[in-house]
Chain A
Amino acid sequence: MKTARVAYNGSIHSAEESEGNVKLANGLIVKEEEVVWLPPVEPQTVFALGLNYADHAKELSFNAPTEPLVFLKGPNTFVGHRSKTVRPSDAINMHYECELAVVIGETVKNIKKEDAYNYVAGYTIANDYAIRDYLENYYRPNLKVKNRDTCTPIGPWLVDAKDIPDPMNLTLRTYVNGKVTQEGTTKDMIFDIPMLIEYLSSFMTLNKNDIILTGTPKGLINTKVGDEVITEIEGIGRLVNTIISD
């Protein structure tokens, strides 16, 4: 099952997918374009992984990390499907990052990787934009790069974990104005989903609806105002976003 949070007719609804349309909790079926899409779960603690695909680390001339490179994102940065993301006028290099997002299903601590999938509620797609001009070498990647308003589209759907039998074998693609610019597979993650859940839960409690953005493969290019950026993951869906000026 695929679920979402949307605004329709002045209120917020939970919804599910129905033959490509959006079925509200009250049974009303509306088109994708008729709703305002919100992040499919309300973000609270959100982890993101840096350099978690070997080819991307190489692309940025970094050695692959020996321990997960984790940073946190605040609720302010998230926007839903079909939203607009602001490119600051002084930015020279702003790139998308197509990422598989893992949503935790319950409060857990000290999970072993063998059991980790039991605690996954589902999956969605995130586009973890970065503005590389603002990178500084303190707690890098710093929040000015990674926690900007509108810079993390997420959605459209939360797909039930049971509908994705092998999340470690999914194709990821990004299209800019219809052309494929990034392609990879979740097979190439350095730290896979069970390892990430084991790692994070070994030193802190994970809560229901915590989200882990698992990193991005190579193929990052600069995006311009007006570009339509679609991040797509096999079996999960397509997340549409448009770049606007500030």
Chain B
Amino acid sequence: MKNGYVKFSETRTLQEVVIDTDKKALTLSKETLALDKCNLDVPINGTVYGTLLNYKGELEKLGSQLNEAPYKNPPVAPVLYIKPVNTLNRSNKPIPLPNDTRELQIGAALGIVFNKVTSMVSEQNALDYVLGYTIVNDVSIPHESYFRPAIKQKARDGFCPVAPWIVKKEEIANPDNLEIKVFINGELRQQNSTANLVRSVVKLISDVSQFMTFNEGDTLLVGVPENQPLVQNLDHIRIEIEGIGSLENTVKL
């Protein structure tokens, strides 16, 4: 059982709930509702920022390429991108497979949801600005080069499913040690941990907030682990993040 927040489609604001991730039920005041009976909206209403190359394994995979053209040097500042509003998608809704590609890359990401305006914060204070955590599937069309912004690969409609809830930050003792698993059609295809982040959760928040402000409801994805599974039409995806729950979607042409 986890304390968290959901957004019912009928209401404008987040509701505090107790989430039973195993039984897939929500308790609201004293009433318990089966999750599949609830009409839940995406629980975030701000801008979604993604982070590239924030897993050590991703950097290791690029290896000496980081020093060659076009990159020339390993990244210094956090490499960010935006998942615009057209990409937002709910859990259990189809991920549309565009007709110009046969495969999609799954991006299992821990999402940090902000609870207030966050600007120039220190690592020590960073968690004061966090409401909680959610699970995001940062879907992409596979691309080899990271030189130019991957808008055409990352900003397609429905390419950003978000778990139906936010788990309160107090429920997560250490966000830098959460196991991440991706199952495709029930088979475990990727396993990693936020222990392998280049910048930890508080370091990432602090570093990014030095040059740009997050607003309440904005979400920062900590990154996507290396060896992202590829999926095709009709594949079912379940992303599990320890302590937060799971996010499921199916690819549909």
A interface residues, Cβ below 8 angstroms from B: 44-45, 47, 69-77, 109, 134, 136-144, 147-149, 203-207
Of A76, A134, A207, the contact of B86 (CB 8 Å cutoff): A207
Q: In whole angstroms, what is the CA distance A142 to B86 when docked?
A: 21
Inside 8 A of B157's CB, which chain A residues have their CB? 109, 204-205
Whether A148 touches B212, Cβ cut-off 8 Å, given contacts A45-B86, A138-B53, is yes
0/1 per residue, B102-117, Cβ < 8 Å to A? 0000000000000000
- Residue pairs across A and B with CB atoms within 8 Å: the count is 103
Cα of A42 to Cα of B73 in the assembled complex, Å: 37
CB closest chain-B residue, reference A45: B84
Q: Provide a sorted-by-A list of 30 A–B residue pairs whose CB atoms are within 8 angstroms.
A: A44-B85, A45-B85, A69-B149, A71-B149, A71-B151, A73-B82, A74-B47, A75-B215, A136-B73, A136-B75, A138-B52, A138-B79, A139-B52, A139-B146, A139-B147, A139-B150, A141-B149, A142-B79, A142-B80, A143-B49, A143-B80, A147-B212, A149-B212, A203-B100, A203-B152, A203-B155, A203-B156, A204-B84, A204-B87, A206-B86
Q: Are A136 and B79 in contact (CB under 8 A)?
A: yes
Q: What secondary structure prevails in chain A residues at the interface with B?
A: loop
A75 near B156 (CB under 8 angstroms)? no
Contact A138 B212 (CB under 8 A): no
- Could you tell me if A140 and B215 are in contact, using CB atoms closer than 8 angstroms? no
A interface footprint on B60-87 (CB within 8 Å = 1, 0 otherwise): 0000000000111101111111101111
A70 B119 Cβ-Cβ under 8 A: no
A139 touches B155 (CB 8 A): no
Across the two chains, which residue of chain A brings its CB closest to B87? Answer: A204
Is A134 a contact partner of B79 (Cβ separation < 8 A)? no
| Bound Cα distance A77, B214 (Å) | 10
Residues of B within 8 A of A (CB): 47, 49, 52-53, 70-73, 75-82, 84-87, 98, 100, 119, 146-152, 155-157, 211-215
- A148 CA to B212 CA in the complex, in Å? 5
- Expressed in whole angstroms, the Cα–Cα distance for A243 and B85 within the complex equals 31
A148-B211, A149-B213, A205-B157 known; A74 and B82 CB under 8 Å? yes
| B155 cross-chain contacts in A, Cβ below 8 A | 72, 203-204
**Docked CA distance A152–B122 (Å):** 25
The answer, among B76, B149, B211, for a CB contact under 8 Å with A149, is B211
With a cutoff of 8 Å between Cβ atoms, the chain B residues found around residue A77 in the complex are 212
Q: Quick one: given A45-B85, A144-B77, A147-B80, are A76 and B215 in contact (CB under 8 Å)?
A: yes
Are B212 and A72 interface neighbours, CB within 8 A? Answer: no
Closest approach, in angstroms, between the C-beta of A140 and any C-beta of chain B?
A: 6
CB neighbours (8 Å) of A139 from chain B are 52, 79-81, 146-150
A70 touching B211 in the complex, CB below 8 Å, given contacts A45-B86, A136-B77, A139-B79: no
